[in-house]
Amino acid sequence: MSLFDVLKDKVSGKQLKIVFPEGLDERILAAVSRLAKENILTPIVVGNKDEVNQKATALGVSLEGVEVFDPNNYPEMDQLVTSFVERRKGKATEEDAHKILLDENYFGTMLVYTNKAHGLVSGAAHSTADTVRPALQIIKTKAGVKKTSGVFIMVREDEKYVFADCAINISPDSQDLAEIAIESARTASMFEIEPRVAMLSFSTKGSAKSPETEKVVQATKIAQELDPSLVLDGEFQFDAAFVPSVAEKKAPGAILKGDANVFIFPSLEAGNIGYKIAQRLGNFEAVGPILQGLNAPVNDLSRGCNEEDVYKLALITAAQAL
C-alpha cells in the first residue's frame, strides 16, 4: 500500500475541511474537484463565486461538494475581524483587519484559526512568505517550539525518508536543530515511518572540528535531553548515517547503524540542495514542503506544482489535522 493510499484511508470519512486560498488556479480547481468526488474531505476554495464557477466550467471540472467562500461577501466577516484583532493584540485595528482579511491567505488562515477549516494549502500562486506569514501571526507555533520548519517526505517506490529543514530556517542554531529533529520525528511517525534520526554534518563523531560541527554536536545533545525515547544520534556525514558498512567503520559505537530515515540538515542551504539532488538524480518524489511546529496545519506548495502535488499535499494536511 502506497503512502498516499494509507493517508486516504486515514482521513476519509473524518469530515475534514481544508481551505485553498487560490480558488482561481486551475491546478487547485482540478485537485479539489477530485478530492470532493472521491469523498476524501470537503475542500473550501477562496474567491468570487461567479469567477470560480466560470473558471471551473471552462476547465470542465465539477465543483460538487466544494465550498466557495468570498472574503468580499462572507457573512461572518465581522466575527473574523474581531478574532483577528484579538489575536494580534493591539497590532491591528478593526479597520486594518477588514483590509487585511480581504487577502485570501489571511482570510483562509483565519478560517483555520476559528475552526471553520482544519488546515490550509496555498503557494501555487504565492510565495512561501505569503503563505507562512499569516500562519505565524495567527496560528503560531506550538508550546515549546520557537520556530516552524519545513520537511519533505522523499518517496521512491517503497522507500520513504524525511528531510528537514529544507524550506524555512536559513541558519538554525543548536536549539533550533534539536526542535526540528523532534518535530521531524513526529512527522515521520504520522506517515508510518518509525523515526531513526540522523543529525547531519560534514563530520562524523568528531572527525572534524569547527563551529559548524560543534553546533550539530550540541543540537544532538539537546534533542536527546528533550526526548530521551527518540532514536537519534549525530553528528554524521550522510554516508555514515545511511550506509551500514560506512557506519561500521566511521561510527562503530553509534546508536544508528547506517539505518537512519530522518535526516536533519545543519542549514537551509544544505537541506535545499540535498533534497533537490535526491529528487533530480535519485528520482525520488519530493512531497512538501510540509510545515511543522504550528498549532494547526498550514502547508506551502511550490509555484511549479501540478494538480497531483496539490492533491497529495491536501492529503498530508488532512492527516496532520488528525
What is the model's pLDDT at position 24?
93
H/E element holding 322? none
What is the model's pLDDT at position 149?
93
* pLDDT of residue 199 exceeding 80: yes
Average pLDDT over residues 38-50: 95
What is the model's pLDDT at position 304?
82
Q: Where are the alpha helices (DSSP H) in the chain?
A: 3-11, 26-37, 49-59, 77-88, 94-100, 104-113, 128-134, 174-190, 211-226, 238-242, 244-250, 268-281, 307-321
Task: Report the alpha-carbon distance of residue 261 to residue 283 in Å, rounded.
Answer: 17
Enumerate the domain spans of the chain: 3-140+296-321, 149-281
What is the model's pLDDT at position 83?
94
CATH number of 149-281: 3.40.50.10750
157-173: per-residue pLDDT in tens?
889 999 999 988 999 99
Task: Report the alpha-carbon distance of residue 297 to residue 318 in Å, rounded.
Answer: 8
Average pLDDT over residues 273-283: 96
Selected from 3.40.50.10950, 3.30.1120.80, 2.60.120.10, 3.40.50.2000, the CATH number assigned to the domain covering 3-140+296-321 reads: 3.40.50.10950
Average pLDDT over residues 182-211: 94
Average pLDDT over residues 194-206: 96
Mean pLDDT of the chain: 93
pLDDT band at 210 (very low <50, low <70, confident <90, very high): very high
Average pLDDT over residues 296-311: 89
What is the model's pLDDT at position 322?
86
pLDDT band at 1 (very low <50, low <70, confident <90, very high): low
